[in-house]
Structure 1
Amino acid sequence: MKAIVYTEGGGPEVLRLTERPLPQPGPGEVRVRVEVSGVNPTDWKSRRGGPPATVAEQVPNQDGAGVVDAVGEGVDPERTGERVWLWEAAWQRADGTAQEYVTLPEAHAVPLPATASLDTGASLGIPAMTAHRALTVAEGGPTRLAPGVLGGRNVLVAGGAGAVGHAAIQLARWAGAFVVATVSNPYKAELARAAGAHHVVDYTAPDPAAEIRRAAPEGVDIVVEVAVAVNSGLDLAVLAPNSVVAYYADTGGAEFTLPVRETFARNLRWHGVLVYTMPDAAKREAVAAVTAALRDGALRSGEESGLPLHRFPLERTADAHAAVEEGAVGKVVVDV
């Protein structure tokens, strides 16, 4: 079978196309014929660092979608032929989704509802699970999103045109929140509105905090933050008492500072989010909620839904990685 691998850290040029033996699923595993592989920032960042010392060669990409074509011991044979979305395929494993077939624990191959496309399935994984975690770390929960559980809460999504931002808008709307998104230009504003944001603010305008406050006069209860080092001042200006900033990236800087008295006096909280190291229970809740949102039609992909797709064939996976590294707006996918 065809696969993309790398054996050293570096730029996209370290990725190469090779032939590998067809893998066989072990106990508790399924083998998936990968149709679409999703590319995330963590994929190129991992590639820059090189494969783990215990791995001879690494197949990149955590997310994807395809069809189960074989199962290992202990797995229900009825899963054969099932359409699935994949998550954390390459976390602490040598085999990501940039190959024709991948074996992985069956819990990481989640049934994909018939109404959801394989493109949507490949766009979930890390972005949707990150968004779910960010929306469920507020004081008092909920720990799992469902229709109505965020009713009465105001959510601010920073970077509403990004993959995580897109998922956060859709999940927050599905859960009943009032959603404000920040963007940097009119095209991204269109995407955030298409995703379902109630109100969109250009953060490059003179006073974005005032605009956010006009939309949410009581303040924001949850911030899904992509650039905490840059936006900490803006977040402080719009947060309601007892609110939380859930940050998941170091876009714009690796450090930030906060005023001690103001943050403790208002009972404000900053909460870091990384899917790979978050509690297993939180991962299970995210998978369940994302699948439920899919069944309800609340998670969608494509430009008409606010998430443009940029497609590359398997042999051009290096170009796909470069596109993500260069900040492509939307979701980069590889047609395997």
Structure 2
Amino acid sequence: MSNTYRAWGWTPGAGLEGLQLIDKPLPKPGPGQILVTNHAIALNPVDWKICEWGHADWHQGTVPGVDGAGIVSAVGEGVDLPLGSRVAYHQSLSRDGSFAEHCVVDASLVMHIPANFEATAAAAVPCPALTAWQALAKIASGASRDVLVVGAGGAVGFYLVQLAAQQGLRVWATASEKHHARLKQLGVVGVFDYRASDWQEALKAALGERPLHAVFDTVSGAHAASLAHLLGYNGHLVCIQDRQENAPLPAFSTAISLHEVALNSIHAHGRLLDRQALRVAGERLLQQVADGRLLAPQRLDFAFEALPQALRQLKDGSASGKWVTRLV
């Protein structure tokens, strides 16, 4: 193994234009860590957003990227994972990420890849599927089984509608019209074009006397707040993007619960039991996708050398699907 590796390095204040393909010294994993030789890397919206917004822990040459898959090529003290193990991972935003030939990650959070599953497919699962799983876990059972997934055309929404339907929930969704037929095939009972001015009234008419038990919003905290009135008594407003800083409805009205979904926070705030639960859930999701019980978004392939261009296309929304590159 070489003493250096190729990685995409970040430049402060330069956004996606400042990403540069650089050589970095090969790191050694510390206690509880492993070195993964990446076989595949997947892109997520958080990747281009942090590249443009910046991060308190980032500096010149920090490597972006949260999702990857490959093999264990070195282990730190206290780690008993065999070398060569096939794993997928979600990396902390505070450390060098997956946009590289190698990545050091915490051994406690890596997920074993099923034997019948290729790395390119596995790399595309962690961030969106685990986010969807966390979002769904926020809500308790209620009198109504009707839930709304806002922005179901994205990868998180794509997984979320399937997981919710598998739990017996009656799933409604908003998405651009090109996604409607596919979402209905996944078990969504009704899909509304979010650009239509009357979509909320159409949803209310379709629901009739049944209230919405939960709204899962993938747009923003402000957008989620604007939908709080759609919820019934003791309903749940789940923010997958951003959070609610203030209650969107008056006290002692419908008594809704507010939820924040923040997958990255487990790296700094998750205890051992949290990490174990996440790993178990991740491996279950990987197996479900491998078995075809959970369908993955369409894969969009790109070359590692063209990663910044793929991030720009992800940001622009010029193509629908999950951007993935194979390194090996």
- Does 2:48 correspond to 1:34? no
1:243 is matched with 235
Q: Per-residue deviation at 1:247?
A: 0.9
- Does 2:250 correspond to 1:260? yes
2:64 is matched with 60
- Does 2:303 correspond to 1:318? no
Q: Per-residue deviation at 1:129?
A: 2.2
1:122-181 residue CA offsets vs partner (Å, 9 max, x unmatched): 2222222221221122246xxxxxxxxx99733211111101111211222333322222
RMSD: 2.9
Q: Name the CA shift for 1:256/1:206 in 2 (closer, same or farther; >3 Å).
A: farther
Q: Name the CA shift for 1:211/1:326 in 2 (closer, same or farther; >3 Å).
A: same
1:92 to 88, 91, 94: 94
Q: Per-residue deviation at 1:214?
A: 5.3
2:223 is matched with 230
Whether contact under 8 Å (2:216, 2:239) holds in the other structure is yes
Whether contact under 8 Å (1:3, 1:59) holds in the other structure is yes
1:145 is matched with none
1:288 to 277, 280, 283: 280
Q: Per-residue deviation at 1:211?
A: 3.8
Q: Give me the whole-angstrom Cα distance separating, in 2, the residues matched to 1:270 and 1:109.
A: 30
Q: Per-residue deviation at 1:312?
A: 1.6
* SS across alignment from 1:69: strand
Q: Give TM-score, length-normalised by structure 2.
A: 0.83
Q: Give me the whole-angstrom Cα distance separating, in 2, the residues matched to 1:290 and 1:180.
A: 25
Whether contact under 8 Å (1:29, 1:104) holds in the other structure is yes
Whether contact under 8 Å (2:88, 2:111) holds in the other structure is yes
Q: Name the CA shift for 1:176/1:83 in 2 (closer, same or farther; >3 Å).
A: farther
Whether contact under 8 Å (1:4, 1:314) holds in the other structure is no
Structure 1 gap segments, 5+ residues each: 141-149, 302-306
1:252-299 residue CA offsets vs partner (Å, 9 max, x unmatched): xx99983415xx322112222222225525554343223223323433
1:82 to 81, 85, 99: 85
Amino acid at match of 2:299: L
2:325 is matched with 334
Q: Give me the whole-angstrom Cα distance separating, in 1, the residues matched to 2:167 and 2:283.
A: 14
Whether contact under 8 Å (1:9, 1:51) holds in the other structure is no
Q: Give me the whole-angstrom Cα distance separating, in 2, the residues matched to 1:115 and 1:171.
A: 22
1:143 is matched with none
Q: Give TM-score, length-normalised by structure 1.
A: 0.82
Amino acid at match of 1:320: A
Q: Name the CA shift for 1:226/1:70 in 2 (closer, same or farther; >3 Å).
A: same
Whether contact under 8 Å (1:120, 1:300) holds in the other structure is no
2:200 is matched with 209
Whether contact under 8 Å (2:235, 2:257) holds in the other structure is yes
Whether contact under 8 Å (1:37, 1:63) holds in the other structure is yes
- Does 2:69 correspond to 1:72? no
Whether contact under 8 Å (2:128, 2:155) holds in the other structure is yes
1:183 is matched with 175
Q: Give me the whole-angstrom Cα distance separating, in 1, the residues matched to 2:307 and 2:199.
A: 38
Whether contact under 8 Å (2:109, 2:275) holds in the other structure is no
1:4 is matched with 8
1:231-266 residue CA offsets vs partner (Å, 9 max, x unmatched): 5444523x2321101012259xx99983415xx322
Structure 2 gap segments, 5+ residues each: none
Whether contact under 8 Å (1:157, 1:181) holds in the other structure is yes
Q: Give me the whole-angstrom Cα distance separating, in 1, the residues matched to 2:275 and 2:111.
A: 12
